Chain A
Amino acid sequence: MTAPTATAPERDQPEEPGTGDPATGTTADDAFDQDVLPSPPGATGALLRSLLAPMKPRVALTVLLLLLQQAAVQAGPLLVAYAIDHAVPTLRDDDHGPLIAVGAGYLLCSLAAGALQYGFIAAAARVSQDVLLDLRGRIFRHAQALSVDFHERYTSGRLISRSTTDVESLRELLDEGLQELVTVVLSFVYIAALLLWLDLGLGAVAVASFVPLYALVRLYRRRAGRVYRQRSTAIAAVIVKFVETMNGIRPVRAFRREAANDADFAVLNRRHEHTNGNALLEMARYVTGSRLVANTAVAGIVLWGAYRVADGTLALGVLAAAVLYLRRLYDPIDRLGMFLNSYQSAAASLEKIAGLLAQTPSVPEPTAPKQLPPPASEHPGREVVFDSVSFGYRTGGEVLPRFDLTLPAGQTVAVVGSTGAGKSTLAKLLARFYDPSAGRVLLDGTDLRDLAVPELRRGVVMVTQEAFLFSGTVADNIAIGRPEATREEIERAAKAIGAHDFVAALPDGYDTDVRKRGGRISAGQRQLVAFARALLADPAVLILDEATSSLDVPGERAVQRAMTTVLKGRTAVVIAHRLSTVEIADRVLVMERGRIVEDGTPDELVAGAGRFADLHRAWRDSLA
């Protein structure tokens, strides 16, 4: 039942002008500000139907099992009526037949009820688990297929809660709620039919009592819906505060925020307590109301029935059976309330999930993938061409105005410029994290959009500033670059990048679990692992997006050495704050507000009077 809504701290560093520019960073009506993404009308229902469609035969089987099970269960009072009205009189005439029939019938019904109950629960669980398996898989695959640009806006916390808590609430509905509902409806129908059959008048009164009950259920649904929404908003606020405090525990402690946080949290917690209490009281009202209606109806029916038995127009056994049925008729009403609760929360969750699944990947895989041509020379590098490329977010705002750029095979290109100049966007277009709004990005003449993922990643690999480690060993993490790599190859990559020494010094060397005891790995070391990964992937084009920011000077030098030795001949695009990185570049691009404003060799640019010369001078000064 644990479904931690782990809202991770935001790790990405929005570089793009679209989000980087604080003045335009948020728009009030941005769909991503809401928890629910817009989805076409009826998407929630369509999602549920598409999940259940392949299960049709098994759903039918489940319902059939339940039909039979309820029939077996509801036969009991009927047998009681038969026993009292027929078996007892015939017994007095020494005819044991009817009583034996009653006994055998009861035995059969009990055994059948038990066996069918087993069959029903097992079958229903299979349906529910298969639906969940399908849904989990769909969310996961869809989330993985969506572009990086989507992930940057949707935030990890929401995506995680879609695949955990929201799936969990559907599970509750399927596991408990739906069974409950079908049982309730079926027993309603059965009992009402039986009562009508036993005695039309009594049955009619019982059916009439459904009218006020229905009104009550509707009223509850409306009122509880409101309270539940308030409660889920209140708990969400509690969760955010909680997670934020725990993820930022160091600054909390260092700046003595404990008492202030206690006070803030108390306010949120009390608000939740209040709405929580409201929800519980709403339930109390519903239970009281439905019980009142039900018990009044029982009293009324008994009064009328007893009257008629006294009249002699109704058999005693029929009255007894009717009373037994009535108790059963009204028993599940409380459970109907519970079903409504789980239905409401599951509907809200499904709506959120449908909204997520309705997002189309902005970077789709090709339907007819092409192969890259064999390398033109013995060098592994490939030529990159930006052909009339421009880029803007779907929400509007042009980030990169139309430009053309050719990076010859084997060239190392440094891209510099201030925050928000569009450097990262350029890199992400080349890595096909985004597709250009217009124009094409070509790798040795082939459009990136025509390459299947494995082919694309043999071509282009990007190392970013955030060096995330997956759980598993250090070796596992490096092997992400090429899963089939041997241990020797992994170690060779680590040695080439200067990561071997620290890895070897870990408690279990390459087999050290990065999340376990003693596996503390500093920010700089994580970046080295990320580099080893890229080295192992051995791509034709390597993109480094501020990938050395946490490295110390020797670490950066090791990376640069690797670039001039192991990675020699590859096409490389290096984005860096540090001009030291630029030293190994063959060519420098200076970007400003989405445009390439300077382009030349480092020496040419330093000698000139442009922005790069300024930057370079500032950097030199900082070293002096």
Chain B
Amino acid sequence: MPTTPAPAPDLAPEPAPDAAPAAAEHVPAPAGKRSTVRALLRLWPYVRPVRARLGTAAVIAILASCVALVIPLVLKWMVDGPVADGDPAGVWLGALYLLLLGVAEALLFGLRRWLVARPLAGVEAGMRADLYRHLQRLPVAFHDRWASGQLLSRGTTDLMLLRMFLAFPLTFLLVNGVTILVGVGIMLVQDWTLGLVVLVPAIPVMVVCGIFERKYSAVARRAQDQVGDLTTVVEESVLGIRIVKGFGRHRSQARAFHALSHRLRGTELRKARLLASIWAVIVTLPELAIGAALVVGAVRVADGTLSAGTLVAFLSTALALRWPVESIGFLLAMSQEAATATDRYFEVMDAEVESPGNGSCGPAERGPAAERTDGLRFENVRFRYPDAPPGSPPLLTDVDLHIRSGESMALVGATGSGKTTLTALVPRLHEVTGGRITLDGEDITALSREELRAMVAVAFEEPTLFSASVGENVLMGAGEGAGTEELDRALAVAQAGFAHALPEGTGTQVGEQGLSLSGGQRQRLALARAVVGRPRFLVLDDPLSALDVHTEAAVEAALRQVLADTTALIVAHRPSTVLLADRVALLSGGRIAAVGTHHELLRTSAEYARLMSGLDGHEDAAGFQEGDGR
């Protein structure tokens, strides 16, 4: 993770949620040539498989450019030969040569594009698939820090830039370089003095290009950052529209947006002025040289020391070189952007993926049979988020908890006490900082993640459904070969019978691109997904929060049967959810402060009583119990 703070103090809203990493990575790095080249060299493994095609294409492009340079020579031959001699046959021959060369040039250009079209699309797709595969396997902590938008822009815009780099700048920096050398060679061979005259501006142009590149890349990065900030305001004003409207704040949002978009405009105009300057230089200097060559050439033609044909050929060669010279500026700019894109891509690819876990220990090494029914155990578990500020205390300091096999345990704690975090440790979505967690006596780090996650099913606080059918979403939680029977059972447990009444029953598409379901409906499907595979271990994070009272009661009744023979950890906020469990653990101050039944804890733990009743102190809690008729 980049740790540098965002550049440029912001007047308006802070950088995007995603801009934290984004902003840091945009800190203008010394944009030297060497770092550009080094960044781009990292693309080699992806380019390697298509290197033959790419190389052939480059050779063909050089050939095509050289053909274009030969055309003026044919002209010269025509002017000095058949035209001067009035030889019609020679003129025909010359025109035929021109036609052949023209056709050759067109076909060679086409061939080059044809050669690289599919391979480069393939390189882009390959890099994207790798990125996706890699991202899926990065630790959840990584995803906590990076917003999906930032990752997405790496998977789309940046890869497109890289494909374009491979298609044009990479080839054409070489091709144009060769073309310029050959062209200059031809001019020098034709006439020394004229050639040198045309070469004079080369050095100032190169110097100016160097200066331009440095300035431009700094401004371009600033513009990129500001676009990111602007996107953040847009994103937030859309996602928080109810708050903006609910408090009548759309004017202040519009002001913030206005300020940022004006700032961006200023930067873009600065960028444009830089671009305009370099263009002006690149247009003027070579043109001046050609003008000088024309005057000198005309004098020498008049002297008779130069043929008219040579002058025509020379000037057409010089004009043919105009494009290769002019293009170098933007080819370099594109390379610069591609280098930034490469850096951005590998920033993600360099992040360490989760190891798949050991899972090597065979059944023989596993504990004796007795221990296989040990249940779920937390031993001295400590945890702090890897990105927590240094010096802050760990969130979980010393968690010891034993959930017996088949037992269900409610986890209760104040808001922000780390309940959700603790549940994320069991399927190793986060890694414990210290201590260990065992499932039936086996350390979870000794299992492969695959095995572990097959044993433990989870329902999250935020019930996410994917773009797939209802049935597919639920059956994700089951192993191979689970069918309608399991699906129906799970839907019944979660009281998600509504799924059968959807337009296409359990085949109805839901998620981002499908039917939008209410929070309660999604929560019930997520619950069904957790129970469908009859997991040995079940982790439920506040699974009933969005349900209305009737549904909640029905789900609880059905869930009790499931829980009867499942080892379960259930985060609970309310007595009704707590009562699903056999026992309750109270999480407080980073440790398990008390374990017992609901009623025991109500009597013995003031904090628990307060959490469950909302009242302070012991007596009140007792009063609450009586008040509830217990």
Contacts and interface: CB of A to CB of B under 8 A. Distances in A.
Given A140-B254, A143-B238, A549 B415 contact: no
Contact of A99 (B103, B298, B315, B579): B298
Interface string B406-433: 0000000011100010001001010000
A1 B312 CA distance: 44
Q: Which of A8, A151, A274, A306 has the most CB of B within 10 A?
A: A306
A584 to B, nearest CB: 12
A435 interface: no
Interface string B242-274: 111111111111100110011001001101110
A298 B230 CA distance: 50
Interface string A278-303: 00110111011001101110111011
A2 B151 CA distance: 11
B285 to A, nearest CB: 8
B545 interface: yes
B505 to A, nearest CB: 11
B464 A248 contact: yes
Contacts of A518: 385, 387-389, 392
Contact of B95 (A140, A249, A303, A418): A303
Given A10-B516, A26-B515, A137-B257, A554 B611 contact: yes
Given A129-B268, A253-B427, A549 B298 contact: no
A507 B611 contact: no
B37 interface: no
Contact of B550 (A265, A556, A618): A618
Interface of A is mostly: helix
Interface string B373-396: 000000000000101110010000
B147 A266 contact: no
Contacts of B429: 250, 253-254
A292 B103 contact: yes
Contact of B82 (A76, A254, A300, A306): A306
Contact of A302 (B95, B280, B508): B95
A359 interface: no
A400 to B, nearest CB: 18
A201 to B, nearest CB: 16
Contacts of B316: 320, 323-324, 327
A550 B91 contact: no
Nearest to A112: B284
Contacts of B20: 515-517
Interface in A1-40: 1-15, 19-20, 22-23, 25-26
B299 A99 contact: yes
Contacts of A266: 129
A481 B249 CA distance: 9
Interface residues of A, number: 196
A585 B612 CA distance: 21
A11 B212 CA distance: 46
Contacts of B136: 245, 249, 252-253, 258, 261-262
Contacts of A516: 20
A466 B242 contact: yes
Contacts of B204: none
B280 A517 contact: no
A43 interface: no
Contacts of A618: 549-550, 553
Interface string B282-296: 011001101110110
B220 to A, nearest CB: 9
A624 B629 contact: yes
B415 A136 contact: no
Interface stretch (A47-55, A120-128, A401-409): A120-128
Contact of A92 (B247, B302, B312): B302
A452 B132 CA distance: 48
A160 B295 contact: no
Contacts of B311: 84
B298 A88 contact: yes
A251 B299 CA distance: 81
Contacts of A431: 246
Contact of B137 (A4, A258, A328): A258
Contact of B315 (A2, A6, A156, A320): A320
Given A556-B614, A577-B547, A80 B276 contact: no
Q: Which of B252, B279, B389, B614 has the most CB of A within 10 A?
A: B614
A497 interface: no
B227 A2 contact: yes
Nearest to B387: A517
B618 to A, nearest CB: 15
Contact of B152 (A163, A242, A517): A242
Interface stretch (A100-108, A209-217, A565-573, A598-606): A100-108
B106 A288 contact: yes
A310 B247 contact: no
B575 interface: yes
A551 B573 contact: yes
A10 B22 CA distance: 24
Interface string B198-218: 000000000000000000000
Given A306-B94, A516-B20, A121 B246 contact: no
B515 A25 contact: yes
A579 interface: yes
Nearest to A522: B416
11 contacts: A83-B295, A245-B136, A254-B458, A257-B476, A266-B129, A291-B106, A302-B98, A468-B240, A518-B389, A523-B462, A624-B628
Given A160-B234, A480-B249, A515-B20, 6 more contacts: A254-B427, A295-B99, A299-B99, A320-B79, A431-B246, A517-B389
